[in-house]
Structure 1
Amino acid sequence: MKSVYILVNEDVVLSSAAAPLDIFVRTNDILRQMGRAAAFDISLVAEQASDIRLGGPASFACQRSLEEVPPKSAGHHQGLILVPAFDGEWDQLRSKNSAAIAWLKQHYEAGTEVASLCKGSYFLAEAGLLEGKACTSHWAVIDDMRRRFPELDLQPDSVLTDQGGIYTGGGAFSSLNLVLYLVEKFCGHEVGVRVAKNFSIHRDHMNQAHFSIFSGLNRHGDKAILDAQNFIEEHYGEDISVEQVASQVNMSKRNFIRRFKQAVQITPIEYIQRVKIEVAKKALESGKRNIQALTYEVGYNDSKTFRSVFKRLTGVTPQDYRNKYGRL
């Protein structure tokens, strides 16, 4: 039996802790119905064993404290620590949870596996567990994590990662794919399918790019590049080129590309594509039905190129995106 420790604090997102708890408990029920032994021994763990009251009208009864779950014990029982998402700013949570961060590091070094859901990846990164490893998180915090932890191999489009006993899940409810992945990894494919069907969770969502909101990537101090970004955003409906944008800010193409990438962290052509696709996403969400017309409205001359760029940046086709998020 695998010991699963769900790490809880007063800032935890309720669903991010309760949903995996429910899934692991239900997995045990399904295994018993199949005539097999339960696979998981689940505990809620907090810095101090007590009722942890959350920001909303809910609380968790944590049976065990960090001291009651020493690294040797969890490693001996093939343990897994699950770190849910949190609400609030990391700078505040980091100081409040220093003991938990140190505890995570000690456990992993002793052989315990560690998984994070959504923004729970901050805990793993702060503990130094993600250095050089492929990892993911909520799409909205990827830029912040890159600034704080430049040594990470962040995979913002991935819904889950698995490397060296470290697992990370994507944003919000997409991270439940990681919980299902762990169920299947430890209990087998048949059980994984049964659990997924029980909770009506699709198991084929391997990309979260279609959830992201293009933020403009304009938190830098290069005025000329900001002017270039503004020009791109104002002329998204045109077939603009990098040379055209460079001339708007009086730079050579070579110097412009170098300076743009240094400031924005992506190339000018990728920025142009992202702006166009974000406009297209908004149109599809609002009920735009004619994708051919939308192709020209965002400055593409042929639908094949538009569909190719759209799928590369979002993970789905324009038609699929409209079906998922468009108004009926």
Structure 2
Amino acid sequence: MQPDVEPPPAALRRPLRILHFSDIHLKLNLFHMPLHKWFGKRSIGAVNLMSGRGRRFDEAEEKVAALAGFARRQEVDLVICTGDYTALGLEHELERARRVVAPLMRAPSGFVTVPGNHDIYVTDVVRQRRFLRHFADVLVSDLPDLCSDGPWPLVRLIGDRLAVVAVNSARPNPRPWRSNGRIPEAQLQALERILADRRLDGRFVFVITHYAPLLRDGRPDTPLHGMVNGDEFLAACHGLKRGAILCGHVHRRYHVAVDGVAGGLYCAGTATMAGREGFWLFELDHQGGLRALPGEWDGEGYRVLDPQPAAAGA
């Protein structure tokens, strides 16, 4: 069960604090990978891990524990993760991911998430509903009448100040050279209805998904790596006067302006990749003003840097 979404009394006297992290890619012990999984795209992924990519995430579990400690010290009210907990989406990887991030799920106003492409790596993950099973208790919408594709889009209402709308852009990519994503049309149509729904009136709105519709220079990602219908997604978000888009997938933290979205787009990058660790800590005040604090790993723990200037209308 999700905790009560009403912020605790102390939080009512200060800004609401939201931690956004992504792409922790907990390291996979390939000796635990069943023999029958060493075929197709997973075999290519395993080779990539053995060739060195996996070493960049050697300390991922320890860093997630440190991030949970950081969240407690910062009195974070809500935690958001935009996916890619795993490397290859195996059953035991998702079991472990759920266990490792459990301390972050204990934030007073809960935990909101979407899967990443590595969590839905190939079709058997979807067929066996692995991600949905392991994260079922946090994939519950406060507005279930607006879901159109299983639990998606998922809406969480946090007190009377904030709404989080989670849209799933991850899908299996059996072809080894492709790691792109797509938001189903049914979800895009539902997203437009949600953003126009009066139950969100007066709230700051985070729209979260795994794939980045834009890179830090404002251009779309490549067709083989990015969100193939990113333009349609941005069109559905157009007119969001008090809100922002949160994403992951690209392993660098950045903020970029988005036409028609007051707060723009915040990519959390990766919280655990050696040399690129990053996240965002947001503070939402009582007037709906958003302050975005970029975060980094300093070799011993996580810390926040100077805040990003608030976007107009954010």
TM normalised by structure 1 equals 0.32
* Higher Rg of the two aligned structures: 1
More strand by share: 2
